[in-house]
C-alpha cells in the first residue's frame, strides 16, 4: 500500500470518523461528516477575537463530498448561510473557513 492509499483510507477510518473526531452535518442539503476546528481558526487569526456581530468557523471534510467554493461565495451548513473566506484542498481533505454575519 502506498502512502497516498494509506492517507485515503485514514480519511474516513480515523480523521473523519464520527465516533472520534467528526460530526455529521447537512452541507448544501447533503449529510457530510466534518471536523470543526475553531482552535485552528483562532491560531490562524493570531488569537484575535471576532466582533460580536460576526461568527467564523473552520472545518475539514472529504474533498469529493462538497463542491468547492471561491472566497465570497456562500455555503449552506445546517440551514445557515455562510460566506466562504478560504478553501484549500490537500490529499483529499478540504479545509473550509466560513464567516457568518449575525446582524441582519
The C-alpha cell that represents 55 in the structure block: 461568527
- Angle CA(73)–CA(46)–CA(20) in degrees, nearest 5? 70
Q: Which CATH number fits domain 3-101: 1.20.120, 2.30.30, 3.30.2010, 2.40.10?
A: 2.40.10
In this prediction, residues 92-101 reach a mean pLDDT of: 89
- Which residue is listed with cell 470518523? 17
Interstrand relation of 30-36 and 23-27 (parallel, antiparallel or unpaired): antiparallel
The yes-or-no verdict on residue 103 having pLDDT over 90 is: no
| 40 contact partners, CB below 8 Å, separation of at least 6 | 58
Q: What is the pLDDT of residue 88?
A: 95
Which residue from 87, 28, 92, 17 is spatially nearest to 58, judged by alpha carbons? Answer: 87
Domain ranges of the chain: 3-101
Q: What is the pLDDT of residue 52?
A: 44
For residue 28, CA distances in Å to 40, 69, 74 come to 24, 12, 10
- pLDDT tens digits, residue range 52-87? 445 688 999 999 999 999 999 999 999 999 999 999
DSSP letter, residue 15:
I
- Residue 77: how many other CB atoms lie within 10 Å: 20
What are the helix (H) ranges across 31-81? 38-44
In this prediction, residues 28-40 reach a mean pLDDT of: 87
In this prediction, residues 18-41 reach a mean pLDDT of: 85
Higher pLDDT, 6 or 74: 74
Amino acid at each position: 500500500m502506498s502512502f497516498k492509499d494509506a492517507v485515503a483510507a485514514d480519511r474516513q477510518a480515523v480523521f473523519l470518523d464520527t465516533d472520534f473526531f467528526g460530526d455529521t452535518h447537512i452541507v448544501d442539503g447533503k449529510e457530510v461528516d466534518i471536523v470543526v476546528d475553531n482552535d485552528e481558526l483562532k491560531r490562524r487569526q493570531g488569537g484575535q477575537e471576532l466582533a460580536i456581530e460576526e461568527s467564523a468557523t473552520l472545518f475539514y471534510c472529504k474533498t469529493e463530498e462538497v463542491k468547492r467554493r471561491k472566497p465570497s461565495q456562500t455555503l449552506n451548513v445546517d440551514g445557515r448561510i455562510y460566506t466562504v473566506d478560504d478553501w484549500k484542498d490537500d490529499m483529499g481533505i478540504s479545509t473550509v473557513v466560513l464567516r457568518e454575519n449575525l446582524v441582519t
